[in-house]
Structure 1
Amino acid sequence: MLSFGPAQAGGPAVRGGDVYALVRLRGRPVATVVCRVPPGKAPADAVAAAARAALAGRELPAPAPPGDPLRASVVVATRERADQLARALDSLLEQDHPDFEIVVVDNAPATSATQDLVEHKYGERVRYVRESVPGLAVAHNRGIAVADGAVIAFTDDDVVADPHWLTALTAPFAADPGLGCATGLILPARLRTPAQILLESHGGFAKGFEARLYDPARPPADEPLFPFTAGSFGSGANMAFRATALRDIGGFDPATGTGTPARGGDDLYAFVSVLAAGHRLRYTPDALVWHHHRETWQDLRNQAYGYGAGLTAYLTALLVRRPALLPALLRKLPRGLAHARTITAHREAAGAAVPGAHGAQDYPWPRQLSRLERRGMLAGPVGYAKARRRVRGVPLPWDQRGER
């Protein structure tokens, strides 16, 4: 089966006659392909041929073990993006999960647009919550406080969720009582601008099509920096946590995330904290969302800087809030920072020709973006310190002791 992305994405064209498509096998995502469709030819024929070539000789993943999804809460934090939010909520309301709620957290709103949308268009189908303190992590913590699901899933207001997303993301929790976190596959909803194509050519948000279990009792041999390579586990636009495990670690660090001087790192902090508490983390590509990448060059510049800042901000948060991790972190930190710098240098060295992403086309990573990432890495600890001062004394929504 071939999927050209969500209907809201406006079609599959990358540029000219190029087509980007998701390949599914018995409904499960197994690959993406890009091919050029000759004039006058049916896109499905060209994509089918590319799919057969991409899957030739590959050992396809075995079906996931069955499990009944637990009661789930989906938390979507947003700020002044009502149009995008409506698109996301429409897709969430079409989920095939048998028992879930949707919670919208309106973060430091300047207008009533989000509240009006939720209350007038969706009514009782979506819960509206307001959080006055700016910051993605603070907004997510507000969502945790009001959520009633045994599993709490998080996604962004700029995604379109596959109808099977929530079921696939939450089913592993029923099958594995020791699972604390699950993440899923993120693919581009559209590839129309040079910035969108460049980002996806160099990995985007996708973590591949093979399921993987990360167990702190059995560290992966191929990741010597585990668990501090949190970026390999998944991304905040597609993640879920067992509610008890998430609350036990104190939720998200409110001094991290978009909307704070730290710029990011909230999801990375939560991933490592859950693993450090002894829980397992599973990446499941069956849980798919389509992400609307930023469209402009300036958006990409901001994103590159934010990635760098978020990386070192989350590492700083671990040092400050989880001192028991300090010995292991200090042993691995130099290699971790060198690894991060190597990634940016590697991007500069050659254009990316990513199999299954953009065919044989080369899209070199600009040195300017690598420099911005490095500048962000230098600024991350300072940004975290500033953000921490701003939220000091503000209690967790479910913990009135005011501890941070």
Structure 2
Amino acid sequence: MRLRPRTVVDLDLGSPEGPVLSLRPAPGGPPPGPGDVYALVRLRGRPAATLLGHVREGDDPAEVLSALARDQLLPARGGESYGRSHGDPHDPHGDPHGDPHGLRHRHGLPPVEPRILPPRACVVVATRERADQLARALDSLLDQDHPDHEILVVDNAPRTRETEELVTRKYGDRVRYVREDTPGLAVAHNTGLAHARAEVVAFTDDDVVADPHWLTALTTPFAADPRLGCVTGLILPARLRTPAQILLESHGGFAKGFAPRLYDPLRPPADEPLFPFTAGSFGSGANMAFRTRALQAAGGFDPATGTGTAARGGDDLYAFVAVLSAGFRLRYTADALVWHHHRETPQDLRNQAFGYGAGLTAYLTATLVRRPALLPAFLARLPRGLAHARSITARREEGAVTGVPGAHGALTHPWPRGLSRLERRGMLYGPLGYAKARLRNGGSR
């Protein structure tokens, strides 16, 4: 199997049938040219879909990609139009853009934006010895159109002063710096939560580039819905130039599609029988925000989860379920976009495969240890959960599956047997890893 590099581009259209407003490379990437292309398609700035295309020598990339986008976005015969929401139709906040009948949506027109000011926000970036990547992320965070926000860097168990010097020298009083000597992403995030001076605290990673509208789109829903505890957003690949990056994105990557979703513990979604234990469908830690008091009420992140601990991951998934269990709602919106720099090497991908499996069962273990009242619901869902775990880690044969990248679980390349085995080994290890991390943290709290 040969995985050819793909150029990642950003295509903005006036409507599904309308003119090309812009075509530009993903942040920091090469311009579109001959070869395989992965494109984000926007409609007047709003993310709507992704597509794969091939531009031949001499072709106009804008014409090729806009034709492919038209075929994908316009309703298929007897099918649904793009991006249709599967949220709760009875939810008064289900359409925050004031188009309850979907007329503008069905005609490919942008929604009427409400005049709602986003709440004050604090963006927390936990990092460890990756100053070059951090600088790229901070530059994008300082370019946000959010009217009232602060940026806080949490330097986690640093070995050098490189991160501190970068923040103080280059960014001065525009970015706050906090040092946290206990290793672990969840610990660093809890430190950020403790230092946040805002109604909403957002979290992203040092290996992303945030879209200029990211923070506004991620935080505005909190102003419209007092029961909202968490919002997550869209994560797309900034580069697809190595086999490891392409395989990760083909296996689902971090994207959760383009349809908005609302998860309400009082109205469990009918299409997710494992709710709330399939937290991986809610979003990812590189693009999430919480109402500060909601995350505090839920107890914050479990310090025995996350990268940098023996648990290897699961801190974000734990927080999602914790907030839902505290009675708050969670919303996913593709309007809040960050570009993620996937790891590049085969060893990176192997580490991620094991870590994903470990983080999944570590977060489940943490949830049951700290919220034993959920045990009966978990046991009732266990048979289906085991079947789900087998399906998401299964090896896929070439040509066995197709899909559009950007939809959760949409696969376009086979997932190698070795990576499937690593994910499953990680799942077996996760509870042990969590127990080790908990012991090292003195039993956590």
**Residue of structure 2 in register with 1:228 after alignment:** 277
User: 2:355 corresponds to which residue?
Assistant: 306
Aligned residue for 2:387?
338
Shift of the 51–244 alpha-carbon distance from structure 1 to 2, 3 Å rule, reads same
Instruction: Tell me whether 1:36 sits opposite 2:54 in the alignment.
Output: yes
Choose from 28, 51, 56 the match for 1:8: 28
Determine if the alignment matches structure 1 residue 24 to structure 2 residue 42.
yes
- Compute the displacement of 1:68 (Å): 1.5
| Alpha-carbon spacing, 1:49–1:201, altered in 2? closer, same or farther (3 Å) | same
Equivalent position amino acid for 1:8 in 2:
G
CA-CA distance at 1:44 after TM superposition: 1.1
Alpha-carbon separation, structure 2, partners of 1:134 and 1:26? 42
Q: Tell whether 2:303 aligns with 1:254.
A: yes
Unpaired stretches in structure 1, ≥5 consecutive residues: 395-403
Query: Is it true that 1:53 corresponds to 2:71 in the alignment?
Result: yes
| In structure 2, C-alpha distance between the alignment counterparts of 1:174 and 1:64, rounded to whole Å | 17
Question: For the residues of structure 1 that align with 2:325 and 2:284, how far apart are their CA atoms?
Answer: 18
Give the aligned partner of residue 401 of structure 1: none
Determine which of 148, 152, 170 is the counterpart of 2:201.
152
1:336 deviation in Å?
A: 1.3
Q: How does 1:161-310 map to 2 (within 5 A)?
A: 161-310=210-359
Q: 1:6, CA displacement in angstroms?
A: 3.2
Question: How far off is 1:108 after superposition?
Answer: 0.2
1:327 aligns with 2:376: yes
The alpha-carbon distance between structure 1 residues 361 and 92, as it changes in their structure 2 partners (threshold 3 A), is: closer
Identity over aligned residues, as a percent?
73
Measure the CA separation in 1 of the matches of 2:367 and 2:213: 34
Whether 2:413 is the aligned partner of 1:363: answer yes
- The number of residue pairs the alignment matches comes to 392
1:229 deviation in Å? 0.6
Give deviations 1:164-210, integer Å, cap 9, x for gaps: 00000000000000000000000000110011111111211110011
Tell me whether 1:384 sits opposite 2:434 in the alignment. yes
Report the CA distance between 1:234 and its aligned residue.
0.3
Deviations for 1:281-333, whole angstroms, at most 9, x for unmatched residues?
00000000000001111110000000000000001001111111111112113
Aligned with 2:393: secondary structure?
Answer: helix
**Are residues 172 and 376 of structure 1, via their aligned partners in 2, closer, same or farther at CA, if it must alter by over 3 Å?**
same
What is the deviation of 1:213?
0.4
Deviation at 1:353, TM superposition (A): 2.8
Question: How many Å separate the matches in 1 of 2:269 and 2:443?
Answer: 38
Q: CA deviation at 1:361?
A: 9.8
Given the superposition, is the C-alpha separation of residues 116 and 64 from structure 1 closer, same or farther in structure 2, using an over 3 Å criterion?
A: farther
* Cα contact 2:265–2:325 (8 A) shared by 1: yes
**Offset of residue 7 of structure 1:** 2.7
Q: Specify every segment of 5 or more residues in structure 2 that has no aligned partner in the other structure, as ranges.
A: 1-11, 13-21, 76-80, 85-104, 106-110
Partner AA of 1:248 in structure 2: A
Q: CA deviation at 1:65?
A: 6.2
CA distances 1:47-94 after superposition (whole Å, capped 9, x unpaired): 111111111212455438633200000000000000000000000000
Compute the RMSD of aligned alpha carbons: 1.9
SS at match of 2:396: helix
Match of 1:399 in 2: none
Q: Is the 8 A contact 1:312 1:380 kept in 2?
A: yes
Question: What residue number does 1:71 align with?
Answer: 120
Deviations 1:226-269 (CA, angstroms, capped at 9, x unpaired): 00010000000000000000011110000000000000000000
The TM-score with structure 1 as length reference comes to: 0.93
Aligned-partner Cα distance in 1 for 2:32–2:356? 27
